[in-house]
Structure 1
């Protein structure tokens, strides 16, 4: 018997939403993930429906219930942030395993209720934290595991770019949009937050620039920066340890720009996610030794491959939904710190 004979049927996803996020960041990643296939797009927009059919040859329907009737195995949600909780709950109630894009919810209470709802129904659920499979983040994890930095004392991370317009309202505000990734990565690396302090420019939900300081329970301090109006973005990462530092100067993982150019995991094959040497990070050790660190290849398709495997009973979901609750709880504290101009303590 060949491997093909024992391989499970691909998991057919319905993608809710075919705006920029659905079209560029979900559809091609699902289509290029082993064990997954894009079968249905849910949208009521005629122009987006025509585009989805032309680009992926999929069925297009107007509701989640219609997608279920077509026999899909799972749902991916890429719609405006304010709709995430309601649509995720609808999918859970229909018994469909569901991936929800960030922000997972607009507050921690809603996130908790959704995760508990999924657990009670026995339905698989995961937040789309694809940035855990960024090239630079995977490389950073490798550097930390190898231990040359010593004990980490400070983690600096930024999502900064320049745009002539305002941040899209659909993201729920820059703190929740960019912050969902920045906070998730910091918590994933260094554990829960003891306290947060934050500053932002613009009202809640309309921020175009922010800074967050997190003191982790384990003692590491994270300094996170997000900006929509930064003409000269700072380094993506700078990690300071007791024996050295690691810096990634390139402002963003290559997978984003490749997808926006129209290339996909399916079209790029084995070259997918590879960073040119000019974008590799630098490792500097005390005493003056400095060297380039070859980057891991970015692997966003691994998220959907892992979720598809979980649907087939072959492992856990790639991101625990309770991680999304922890991120939402921390982001709620960030908003509280900005509003009251004070440090907010999450744990004593």
Structure 2
């Protein structure tokens, strides 16, 4: 498979290029970027990968799929251009600024019969894969509440809007994971945090989702939190699962490493970072599954060869965007948003 990339900022350089270049049976063809600085970085990082001025030039060089990792404001236009050019496209997240924009891309792709996928790589985090395994085994019994949080102290992130605020950017991961685990949502309540006068983009959020099956998900994120919550706390009738900290793949990628350089070490969590199963006085470690972001691209390969579904359906991202819209409306109006019909993408076996 021949893969191209549009954008070589933080997302393109650290979260896509290392995986594309590590993918067996694939060729990293080129990157669209006009920035002199980023072209120099590309030449240093991947000397044999060509830089292009336009998406049309990259497509003309011969690619099977293009990954679009540009800022949210301009990303949907590039996705639509790729669809019109007839090339399979992976959009970075967040997928869209609102549900109407998400719908337009999904409908265009379906009309043109072009595969459209969204990069929800956190479905292959170590902690999320471990939680899926626990739920599948029935170890927690009937789940009552799912708590999912990503909090950190990063003052430089306050007010940044490249992803549409913390709710739109980080929230797209947390909502997607909740829908994967517990299915469609009927009610949404949210609160947003703003620290500076006139701040347009939130730097923190709390979202409560009521799923059609009765599970309640509490999702939160913040970039000004000195004492973060556990990454996951899942409460069930037979016990609870908690895990601290973030999956280690992000740190590895930002350090310039990749699945190709790390081999079997990639995605493996040391035992001190494993989570806990607790029930009354019982407490024991739960071995973490190996994180595997590259599986997104492996599944993409198979899908484009007709050997399986896309790793993330575009309609999943549309549903996630609809729930994020409802969350913002809830925060602005100070009331629960009751969805006329359940919104989500169902519970799926990976």
TM-score (norm 2): 0.94
What corresponds to 1:290 in structure 2? 283
Asked whether the 8 Å contact 1:238–1:247 carries over to 2, the reply is yes
Deviation string for 1:37-85 (max 9, x for gaps)? 3211001101101111221121101110010111111100111011121
1:241 matched to 2:236 = yes
**Residues 35 and 309 of structure 1 are in contact (CA less than 8 Å); yes or no, is this contact kept in structure 2?**
no
- The answer to whether the aligner puts 1:331 opposite 2:321 as a matched pair is no
2:18 counterpart SS class: helix
Report whether the alignment pairs 1:36 with 2:21.
Answer: no
2:39 is equivalent to residue 45 of structure 1: no
Aligned twin of 2:106: 115
Shift of 1:170: 1.2
Structure 1 segment 182-331 matched on structure 2, within 5 A: 182-202=174-194, 205-250=200-245, 252-285=246-279, 287-331=280-324
Residue 205 of structure 1: how far off its partner (Å): 4.9
Measured on the aligned residues, the alpha-carbon RMSD in Å equals 1.2
Q: Please give the alpha-carbon distance, in whole angstroms, between the structure 1 residues aligned to 2:27 and 2:137.
A: 36
CA displacement at 1:312 relative to structure 2: 1.9
User: Number of matched residues?
Assistant: 336
Distance 1:97 1:256, change over 3 A: same
Which of 60, 65, 79 aligns to 2:70? It is 79
Task: List runs of 5+ in structure 1 lacking aligned partners.
Answer: 1-10
C-alpha contact 1:174 1:205 (8 A) present in aligned 2: no
Alpha-carbon distance in structure 1 between the residues aligned to 2:236 and 2:155: 37
Q: Shift in Å at residue 204 of structure 1?
A: 7.8
**Which residue in the other structure is 1:343 paired with?**
336
Matched residue SS, 2:156: coil
Question: Structure 2: where are the runs of 5+ without partners?
Answer: 342-350
Deviation at 1:233? 1.4
SS of 2:214 mapped into structure 1: coil
Instruction: Report if the CA contact (8 A) 1:204-1:335 is conserved.
Output: no
CA distance in 1, matches of 2:26, 2:77: 25
Q: Distance in 2 between matches of 1:248 and 1:310?
A: 33
Alpha-carbon separation, structure 2, partners of 1:107 and 1:308 = 29
Query: Which of 121, 136, 158 does residue 130 from structure 1 map onto?
Result: 121
Q: Once superposed, which parts of structure 1, at least 4 consecutive aligned residues long, lie more than 4 Å away?
A: none
Contact 1:33 1:302 in 2 (8 A): no
**In 1: Cα distance, 2:187 partner to 2:76 partner:** 26
Report the TM-score, using the length of structure 1 for normalisation.
0.94
